[in-house]
């Protein structure tokens, strides 16, 4: 599998201006993500995190600034490279085709983009399933799977494209504590195996610190970087790291920053309605 | 914290058994909800938590077992045991104030007393300035506070909450948790709180009841000795983490116990059970 790509987000601003209602979603935001880095972004709801992810993914255009992937331009004002296999999004709500089998779902991308023949893609999909101990579900349909397995299939569907960057927007939202911790181990395994660059959005600080090389806390809208935490916990990680003094120190710093922004967002919301 | 008031209640539940369509949901389920404590019931969706609360509230009669509130058997629903639900149950055609006053009005409380009570509760939940608004004009966090106010105004002996913050975004949810825990600490009412969010459970609880998967029983009671008043900082302490980790291991244990050898991981089964119960 391919190695990760380096993302360079330079002074990006995104303004929505439907009928003159000037809403600044992202304000002069700069962020460097190293090749093979696991970056986790946290911040209040509606702070513009997802907007930024959408711009990186090529779903939306930026208003100002520049985004580069390995020095190739991805986005400039008025010039946007559309979505591509080198940066794949894993969505929070299953985007699997319900009428296709697991195997067909995973093999879909490379076939439709004519990068692999159907046989080759399916072989590759089987191999991925085998690697993660999910053999036996190739011919199942998504509805026959638990939401946890669906989410893993979703991630494999991204990885088969050998992306340089995987963009994940709260992929484990709604799972209970047990399921989440199984998913974390799964994603870390995949990360160690592929060393794709990960750009991961969440609200869950334990999740953030457990997974990340670096955690970035965003401000309330408009989104800017409020705090960067380098997560110097050794890898490979398992749940025992959660109880270490270092982990708790990092969590404390992140909690303070996030809580401050959450309160600001909350109070602003109340004022708006009054 | 204030001293526990005379009129708050306590539950003693012994040997509850219940089934839906032949599928056992609760089996020999016994627990205590002590006076003036915040008891949190945690378990995955579908483990029977909601059934349990419905029985305690008197909405459902158990197939077997006994529920005592302050020594008296619980019959039907009553204003001494109120439930705040996960979905908002505010009447959309009434203002916040009318919604909050509804229970008192139905019980025929004199207008003056009612007004006084309603206003006091609205102040408490920070909705005085919003009392003339309709639910649809409120944010999610405000709706949940109106919901809390509507229960609190009746001054129940026990307040039961079934995933009351579900569906709120994570940030609003954490603000609401702090707000709610503050209300509890101020009044010291008996509270029974259901959640499947372990972080929330440990943050709020005096006592944490871990449920087994179907059929539901209490697997273990964890005394949460974190200091009060609680603020968000407690979540970065060693003690909090130890308790959370212990609870997580118990939940894992339950998942694996039910897990049969095969290609599926433990949580698939959990999901499967939840789905089979049609409660997810």
- Cβ contact B270–A263 (<8 Å): no
- Cβ contact A255–B233 (<8 Å): yes
Peptide bond preceding B215: is omega within 30 degrees of 0, i.e. cis?
A: yes
More confident residue, B129 or A243: B129
Q: Please say whether the beta carbons of B227 and B234 come within 8 A.
A: yes
pLDDT mean over B25-37: 95
Residue A66: pLDDT over 90 = yes
Q: Calculate what percentage of chain A has a pLDDT beyond 90.
A: 55
* Selection from B260, B263, B261 nearest residue B273 by Cα: B260
For B132, name the nearest residue in chain A, comparing CA atoms only. Answer: A274
Residue B94: pLDDT over 50 = yes
Determine the Cα–Cα distance for residues B95 and B99; give it in Å rounded to an integer. 6
Q: Please say whether the beta carbons of A188 and A166 come within 8 A.
A: no
Tell me yes or no: is domain A7-80+90-99+141-273 CATH 3.40.50.10480.
Answer: no
Distances in Å between the Cα of A240 and the Cα atoms of A244, B141, B197 are 7, 35, 20
Q: Please say whether the beta carbons of B67 and B13 come within 8 A.
A: yes
Tell me which residue in A176, A243, A248 faces B196 most closely, judged by beta carbons.
A176
Beta bridge partner(s), residue A8: A32, A68
pLDDT for position A16 = 87
Structure confidence by residue, pLDDT tens digits, A119-176: 999 999 999 999 888 889 999 999 888 878 888 999 999 999 999 999 999 888 878 7
- Cβ contact A45–B171 (<8 Å): yes
Q: Please say whether the beta carbons of B29 and B65 come within 8 A.
A: yes
Q: Which of A42, A131, A146, A147 would you mutate first to test chain B, the one with the most B CBs within 10 A? A: A146
Which residue ranges make up each domain of chain B? 87-155
pLDDT mean over A8-17: 92
Residues B87, B91, B94, CA angle at the centre, nearest 5°? 145
Distances in Å between the Cα of B264 and the Cα atoms of A59, A139, B176, B275 are 35, 15, 36, 16
- Cβ contact A243–B242 (<8 Å): yes
Give alpha helix (H) positions in chain B: 49-57, 96-106, 111-124, 140-152, 170-187, 198-204, 238-258, 266-276
Which residue ranges make up each domain of chain A? 7-80+90-99+141-273
Its pTM stands at 0.82
Q: How confident is the model at residue B164 (pLDDT cuts 50, 70, 90)?
A: very high
pLDDT for position B13 = 97
pLDDT mean over B195-222: 92
Residue B267: pLDDT over 60 = no
Q: Calculate what percentage of chain B has a pLDDT beyond 90.
A: 61
- Cβ contact B271–A45 (<8 Å): no
Q: How far is A147 from chain B (nearest CA, A)?
A: 7
DSSP output for B143-212: HHHHHHHHHHTT--SEEEEESTTTTS-HHHHHHHHHHHHHHHHHH--EEEEEES-HHHHHHH-SEEEEEP
Q: Chain B: which residues have CB within 8 Å of chain A?
A: 44-45, 129-130, 133, 137-139, 141-142, 169-172, 174-175, 196-199, 232-233, 235-238, 241-242, 245, 248, 251-252, 255, 263-272, 275
Determine the Cα–Cα distance for residues A156 and B113; give it in Å rounded to an integer. 62
For A130, name the nearest residue in chain B, comparing CA atoms only. Answer: B263
Name the token pair of A10: 């330079």
For A43, name the nearest residue in chain B, comparing CA atoms only. Answer: B171
Give phi and psi for B172, each to the nearest 5. -60, -40
Structure confidence by residue, pLDDT tens digits, A200-244: 999 899 999 999 999 999 988 788 899 999 999 999 988 888 889
Q: How confident is the model at residue B274 (pLDDT cuts 50, 70, 90)?
A: very low
Tell me which residue in B171, B265, B267 faces A265 most closely, judged by beta carbons.
B171
């Amino acid at each position: 599998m391919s190695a990760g790509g380096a993302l360079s987000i330079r002074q990006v601003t995104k303004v929505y201006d439907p009928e003159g209602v000037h809403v600044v979603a992202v304000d002069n935001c700069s962020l460097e993500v190293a090749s093979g880095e696991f970056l986790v972004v946290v911040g209040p709801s509606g702070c513009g995190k997802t907007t930024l992810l959408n711009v990186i993914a090529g779903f939306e255009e930026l208003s100002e600034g520049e985004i580069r992937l390995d020095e190739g331009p991805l986005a400039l004002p008025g010039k946007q490279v559309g979505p591509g296999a080198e940066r794949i999004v894993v969505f929070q709500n299953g985007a699997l085709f319900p009428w296709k089998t697991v195997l067909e779902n995973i093999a879909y991308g490379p076939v439709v983009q004519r990068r692999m023949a159907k046989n080759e893609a399916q072989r590759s999909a089987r191999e991925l399933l085998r690697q993660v101990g999910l053999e036996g579900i190739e011919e199942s349909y998504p509805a026959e799977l638990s939401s946890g397995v669906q989410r893993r299939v979703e991630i494999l569907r991204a990885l088969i494209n050998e992306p340089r960057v995987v963009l994940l927007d709260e992929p484990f939202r709604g799972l209970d504590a047990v399921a989440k911790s199984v998913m974390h181990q799964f994603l870390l395994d995949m990360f160690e195996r592929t060393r794709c660059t990960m750009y991961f959005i969440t609200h869950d600080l334990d999740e953030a610190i457990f997974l990340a090389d670096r955690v970035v806390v965003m401000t309330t809208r408009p989104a800017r970087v409020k705090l960067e935490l380098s997560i110097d916990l050794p890898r490979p990680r398992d749940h025992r790291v959660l109880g270490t003094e270092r982990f708790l120190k990092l969590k404390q710093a992140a909690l303070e920053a996030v809580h401050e922004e959450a309160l600001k967002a909350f109070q602003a919301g109340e004022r708006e309605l009054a | 914290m204030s001293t526990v008031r005379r009129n708050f209640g306590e539950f003693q539940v012994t040997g509850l058994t219940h089934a839906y369509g032949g599928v056992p949901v609760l089996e020999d389920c016994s627990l205590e909800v002590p006076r003036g404590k915040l008891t949190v019931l945690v378990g995955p969706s579908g483990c029977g938590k909601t059934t349990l609360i419905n029985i305690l509230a008197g909405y459902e009669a158990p197939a077997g077992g006994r529920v005592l509130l302050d020594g008296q058997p619980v019959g039907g629903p009553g204003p001494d045991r109120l439930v705040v639900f996960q979905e908002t149950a505010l009447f959309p055609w009434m203002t916040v104030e009318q919604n909050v006053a509804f229970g008192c009005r139905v019980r025929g409380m004199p207008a003056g007393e009612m007004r006084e009570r309603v206003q006091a509760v609205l102040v408490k939940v920070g909705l005085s300035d919003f009392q003339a608004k309709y639910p649809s004009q409120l944010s999610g966090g405000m709706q949940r506070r109106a919901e809390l106010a509507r229960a609190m105004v009746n001054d129940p002996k026990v307040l039961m909450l079934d995933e009351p913050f579900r569906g709120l975004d994570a940030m609003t949810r954490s603000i609401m948790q702090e707000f709610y825990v503050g209300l509890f600490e101020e009044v010291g009412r008996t509270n029974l709180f259901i959640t499947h969010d372990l972080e929330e459970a440990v943050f709020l609880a005096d006592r944490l009841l871990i449920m087994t998967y179907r059929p539901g029983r209490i697997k273990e009671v964890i005394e949460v000795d974190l200091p009060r008043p609680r603020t968000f900082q407690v979540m970065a302490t060693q003690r909090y983490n130890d308790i959370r980790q212990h609870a997580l291991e118990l939940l894992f244990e339950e998942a694996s116990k039910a897990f049969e050898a095969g290609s599926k991981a433990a949580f698939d089964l959990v999901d499967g059970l939840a789905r089979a119960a049609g409660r997810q």
